Structure 1
Amino acid sequence: MLKFVKGPLESIDGVEIYPIISLLIFFFFFTALFWWVFTARKEYIRDVSNLPLELNNDQEGHNNQKTD
């Protein structure tokens, strides 16, 4: 299986840089995500985590009209 992938890639000049670039993108993305998680305000995390559970007045009124 590896020969089907490795064979055509060996003929491309400079192909060895792509795994390095993808590893760097992966590393920087998850490092930034890790940093954001630990520096985010707790109030913001709590508000965002409760968003799907909260109903605003428009939705409550619409739901009450539907059930009557």
Structure 2
Amino acid sequence: MNDPKRRSGFAGAHDLVEQAEAAIRNLKYMCAACANGDKDAARTALRQAISELEVARAMLRPGVE
């Protein structure tokens, strides 16, 4: 029997997915910048992607503990 109070997900999962999708967008920008030979734009996009993933990790950590 399923407990109605117990859910398979966790609060904030939608926000976590949004952060990961933002990181994906930044990685795509980085790839485009690399293809165009723009190192500065590639570095900026990579730093932004890393930042988005760090935020996602920080959001996930309280849910795991």
Larger RCO of the pair (alpha carbons < 8 Å, separation 6+): 2
**TM-score interval (norm. to shorter):** 0.3 to 0.5
TM-score between both structures, scaled by the size of structure 1: 0.36
Larger helix percent: 1
